Copies of this chain bind each other. A is one copy, B any other.
């Protein structure tokens, strides 16, 4: 055999791993059985977080090359999907943790003060590497989020905050998407036409609907006009930039268009993997949101409305962070600019050809 023999026990570092569970309650002479569960649940979280960071780093690396290789998109998409699997798994760990009752928690809760999940460096790292900025975060105890970390960790976090995130790299990648404009095709003009045509059709349907009273017609027409108006954000760069400055959008105008193109023409061979990548990012965002929410619910169950172990109203913070800490919100909102597939402008043959393989 080419390599020296390996034993399962040493390979997995089980000696340090399995001797890292130190119950405070035992240290203080009042052993609380369920503290072991509490420790192990959080340790497995952190092991999984390490894995997520590891996957993210490899995807970041692929997206940050000056020339992104098409041959790396397959694994980029697979690794983002793996992150989703891991996140779904660890949401399930909450069910296990909840086999500990509040009364059991009380046996050692005070001994942990002020330790708290808010001090998880790796979770913060995941959020930051994905693209959550300081300003996107809910303030916690009137201090920037990284203040709850150790000094070393703060330093490393500030460095990471300075580097381009997956969000940033993705935005650049989207901006470089070809096909938005070509000799015989201007995606934007055709899309605008389709939207207007659809609006006129809907308008006529309303006007000619004998079942509708005049009042209902007016209401319906008003609704349609508002919907149409909402598309202005998409067609008018200035209007878009205005809304972007107000915080309604984060993606650049060009990247937004590219994301829409990918969604609408996802069946074209060249867009199949990019579409999957966007899907995986939506899934990551949604699953992280669910994770935060389930934790908020659990905190409320464990603590009632008292203060959390970290000295702050944990569950309320979590519930709010849940909504606010979304990173790829624009991909969610993009949906409002979709039109039914039957109305989506057909691609000119020359474009469709370029989006396909030739052998």
| Chain A residues within 8 Å of B, Cβ to Cβ | 1-3, 5-9, 11-14, 16-22, 24, 28, 30, 33, 36-37, 39-40, 42-44, 46-48, 50-51, 54, 58, 70-75, 78, 81-82, 85-86, 88-89, 92-93, 95-96, 98-99, 101-103, 106-107, 110-122, 150, 153, 178-179, 202, 205-206, 209, 220, 227, 263-264, 266-270, 272-273, 275, 279, 282-283, 286, 289-290, 293-294, 297, 300-306, 319, 323, 332-342, 354-359
How would you classify the secondary structure of chain A's contact residues: helix, strand, loop or mixed? Answer: helix
Given A3-B28, A7-B115, 9 extra CB contacts under 8 A: A1-B220, A17-B17, A18-B122, A70-B357, A73-B269, A89-B93, A103-B338, A270-B359, A290-B294
Give the residues in chain B near A202, CB-CB below 8 Å: 2
Find A336's partner among B209, B305, B338 (CB 8 Å cutoff): B305
Partner among B85, B101, B332, B359 whose Cβ is within 8 Å of the Cβ of A301: B332
Q: How far is the CA of A96 from the CA of B8 in the complex (A)?
A: 20
Write out the residue numbers on chain B whose beta carbons fall within 8 Å of the beta carbon of A266. 74, 103
CA distance A18 to B74 in the complex (A): 28
- The CA-CA distance from A48 to B1 in the complex, in Å, is 33
| Shortest CB distance A123–B (Å) | 10
Partner of A47, one of B17, B114, B283: B17
Q: Once the chains are docked, how many angstroms separate the CA of A309 from the CA of B89?
A: 26
Chain B residue contacts of A301, Cβ below 8 A? 282, 286, 332, 335
Contacting pair B37 A336 (CB below 8 A): no
Residues in B with CB closer than 8 Å to A179 are: 359
Instruction: Name A118's closest neighbour in chain B (CB-CB).
Output: B8
Tell me, rounded to whole Å, the shortest Cβ–Cβ distance linking A338 to chain B: 5
Q: What residues on B are CB-neighbors of A103 within 8 Å?
A: 263-264, 266, 338, 341
Q: In the bound complex, what is the Cα–Cα distance between A179 and B359 (angstroms)?
A: 9
> In the assembly, how many copies of this chain are there?
4
Given A22-B13, A44-B47, does the pair A8, B120 have CB atoms closer than 8 Å? yes
Given the contacts A264-B103, A338-B103, A8 and B205 also touching, CB distance less than 8 Å: no
Closest residue of B by beta carbon distance from A269: B70
State whether A37 touches B82 (Cβ < 8 A).
Answer: yes
